[in-house]
Structures are given as C-alpha cells and as structure tokens.
Amino acid sequence: MIHLLIAWRNLWFKPVQSMLTVAVVATSLAMTITVMLLASSIQGGLIKAAEPFDLIVGAKGSPNQLVLNTVFLQDVPIGNIDYSLTRELAANPLVATAIPIGFGDNYRGYRIVGTEAAIFEHRIKAGQLPWIQLAQGHPFREQYEAVIGAKTAAETGLKLGDQFVSSHGVVAGGESHADKKFTVVGVMRPLNGPYDQAIFVSLASIWDVHSHAHEEEGTGKDNDLDNHNQTKQGAEDEHNNHSDQDNERQHIRGNDDEHHQEEELGTTVVLVKPKGYAEAMRLYQEFQKDKRAQLIFPAQVVVKLFAILGEGEKVLSMIGYAVFAMAMLLVSFSLYWSALSRSRERAVLRALGASRKDIFTIILAEGMLLVCSGILLGILAGHGLFTLIAGALQKKTAVAITGAFSTAEAYTIIAILLVSIIASVIPALHTAKSNIAADL
C-alpha cells in the first residue's frame, strides 16, 4: 500500500505531464471502443431491419437505392412497375405471398406507405407472430384509413380518430393534398426499425390521391408514384383482360375504375416471400431475363453496403491503434524521464533501506496508475460518444443501434494493460539497477 501512495504522490509532482499521459491513453481507447461498438451495432441494426424483406421486386436501377428506399425509407424511389407484375408474382407457384408497396407521399416528413391489408399478416419466419403488431385500433379496411408507426405517433402526436392530410414527395414541404383526409385507425407496436416512422394506408388511397391531383391539374404532372407513365392511352380497355382480384382487394379499391388506376399508377416495389430457398433462387434466375423489373435479396445488398462502410471502420481503427501506440510511448518516456528527474530521491530511498524491488514496484505502480486512469476514462468516454452518435443515427434512420460491453472490447483493454506493463517495466528496471553513489 505504501508503494501505491508514494507512486500517487510522485505523479502529482508533475500534474500536467501526468494528465497529458492519461488523456492520450483515454483518447486512444475511446476511439477504439466507439468504432468497435458502432461497427457491430450498425451491422446488427441493418441486418435486423432487412429481415422482413426476403425479396423485393422493383424498377431497374441501383439495387442500393432500391434497398435504401424500401427497407430503410431513405433516398427517393427509382421509379414504378406495373401493378400487373404483382398479380403475376402472386400467381407464381414459387411465391408464397406478394405484397405491393407504393411510396410517393409523406406527412410532416413521415413516409406514407401504400400497401394492402396482407402486410399485417406478413411474417418474418413461419410460426412467428406477424411482423406488424398493433398496440391500438385495427388494420385499415377502407380507403383513407391509416395505421401509424410507434415513433410516428410519439413524435407527431397523432392518435386514434385523428385526421391528417398528406403532402406530395418523400420529404416534408411538398404540395399538400388538402382535399383528401386520412383517419388514424391503428397504432403499431414498436418494431425497432425504420418502419416505426411510417404511415400505412391502402394502396388504393394513394392511387386515388394522385388520380385526383391529376384531374385538378389537367396536365398529367409527373409524381413519385406515376413517373414511369404519364398518359397511357388505351389502358382502360387493357384492364378488361386482367383477372379479377380477391374480395379484400376489390373492397379496398371500391370501384371498377381502380383497374385503370392500377395500370396508370402502378406500385413502387413488391415485397415477395418465396416458398423456400430453392424457389427464391429459381425466381431470381427468372428475373435475370426480365426487362421490366429487377429482383434483389436485400440482405445481400446490406452486407455489400456494410463492406463499403467497413473500409472506413478499418481506417478509424488504424487511427485509434496509432494513437494508442503514441500513448504507450508517452507512458514509457514519461516514466523514464520522471525516474531520471527524481534519481536523487530514489537514491535517498535506497540509502534509507528501500530495496531495488521497492523502487521497481513504485515506478511500475506509477505506470499502472496512469494507464488505469486512462482506461477508466476511455471506457466512459467511448461508451458516452457511442451513445451520442447512436442516438443521432437512430433518430435519423430509425435503425435500432444498441451497444453493450463485448468480448472484443475486453480483449482490447487486456491488450492495453499488457502493453502498458511492458512500457512501465523498461524504465522501472533501468532505475532499479542505477548506481546509488552516482545518483547521490
């Protein structure tokens, strides 16, 4: 205990030098911990967000953009595909379910997702509860009924029975569809994913809003949900060749003219659940030859996106390790010069009866006090910085980002301690073996 007390007093003899050493150790560890936590938690959050989307079929273009828009509700839609493709997929023997999803409007920046009631029966895995669970109310049954996400409800103040109007576009500030009001009929339980910030309505409602907007403008103005086809001629005749939809879809559409709207407005993507892995691969092969749309595996795209982000992670990790190496050099030099500057004091201690082992222990204790203080501050700073960054990212993307003390973090701390011991032992051995007579 006396060795530790003497070491503590020695460190306070030069407080600026000691605090600088602690700060460098803390900074290096904080950077390393923050990068590790962000890398692991972001990857886990991205993969979790993609779980409900086995396959998605969308317009030709960038797969990354298609995933960002569909899975994470970021970026803008690539374009649209004909609704007839939804029918084809639903009738395909390789497909268990095919659910259309349309984007193009928002409420105060919260994306409105046009879809069908089947989305509320969609399961990530067979035997599990449906992906979307309601905390209040019921799924939409009629046009202009809406089911809102947990964060949408919390951040907008919307509740059951409230009405709102949508705005054009996927970001706030677009032209308002003031003549068409949606009524909140359901509030979702938290999904811990991007769709906590969504608003689900019937796809027929989206079609009706945009069809009505076109009638008022009289120009066939382009919009996100129908930018692939402005003025199709003869589509109303073509719809007679399509088979009737099931009772639920007919009920939501509400009138015979909706078949024309299907072809006119289409849908952004189709969420596809294949009957199995083999069926998914066969379906993928089929779409390799299809010129109308592309089929992608969102999980694969997410892995590729994270691989790109991983390069940045490596750079940050290398910077953290470089700072750590500098910290260890600083610890070693600090202890060495401290030993030289107080060589006379150490010689006096030796003359008073202190052994070489006592001197060695005191100098080693100084190094451990510096490093352990830096490690403690580094852990607190690393987790604190991670919490701030994760909170900002989660608010922006709604991707669940949670971090906990990991084995990788424990190994990093152990490595720092081992290197610190080596850095402290070198000056301790040098001082312990010094000549007393020369120092006096």
- For residue 116, what are its two tokens? 């069908």
Q: Which of 50, 97, 55, 54 is nearest to 71 (CA)?
A: 50
Residue-wise DSSP of 286-311: HHHS-SS-EEE-HHHHHHHHHHHHHH
Q: What is the pLDDT at residue 439?
A: 56
Alpha-carbon dihedral sign for residues 67, 106, 103, 78: negative
Strand-pair partners of 163: 183
Q: What is the pLDDT at residue 419?
A: 78
Query: Cα angle vertex 229, ends 61, 285, to 5°?
Result: 40
Q: What is the pLDDT at residue 20?
A: 82
191, amino acid identity? L
Q: Which residue has the tokens 């009772």?
A: 247
- For residue 424, what are its two tokens? 């402290």
Contact 163, 183 (CB under 8 A): yes
- Distance CA(251)–CA(143), nearest Å, equals 9
Contact 399, 72 (CB under 8 A): yes
How big is the chain by its Cα radius of gyration, in Å?
A: 32
Q: Which residues contact 153 (CB under 8 A, 6 or more apart)?
A: 159, 187, 188
Residue 168 parent element (H or E): strand 163-168
Contact 224, 76 (CB under 8 A): yes
Q: What is the pLDDT at residue 396?
A: 77
Contact 263, 84 (CB under 8 A): yes
374, amino acid identity? G
Q: In 3-state terms, what secondary structure has residue 271?
A: strand
Helix-then-strand count for the chain, H and E: 15, 10
Break the chain into its structural domains and give their ranges: 2-46+311-439, 55-296
Q: Which residue has the tokens 């600083």?
A: 330
- Distance CA(7)–CA(359), nearest Å, equals 10
Q: What is the pLDDT at residue 340?
A: 64
pLDDT tens for the chain, 440 residues long, are 677 777 777 677 778 878 888 888 888 888 888 888 887 788 888 888 999 999 999 999 999 999 999 999 988 889 899 999 999 999 999 999 999 999 989 999 999 999 999 999 999 998 899 999 999 999 999 999 999 999 999 999 999 999 999 998 877 767 777 788 999 999 999 998 999 999 999 999 999 887 755 555 544 444 444 444 433 334 344 444 434 444 444 444 444 444 444 545 689 999 999 999 999 999 999 999 888 999 999 999 988 887 776 676 677 677 767 777 777 777 677 666 766 666 666 667 777 777 778 878 887 888 888 888 989 999 999 999 999 998 888 877 778 787 777 787 888 888 888 877 887 777 777 766 766 555 55
- Distance CA(175)–CA(182), nearest Å, equals 16
Contact 192, 400 (CB under 8 A): yes
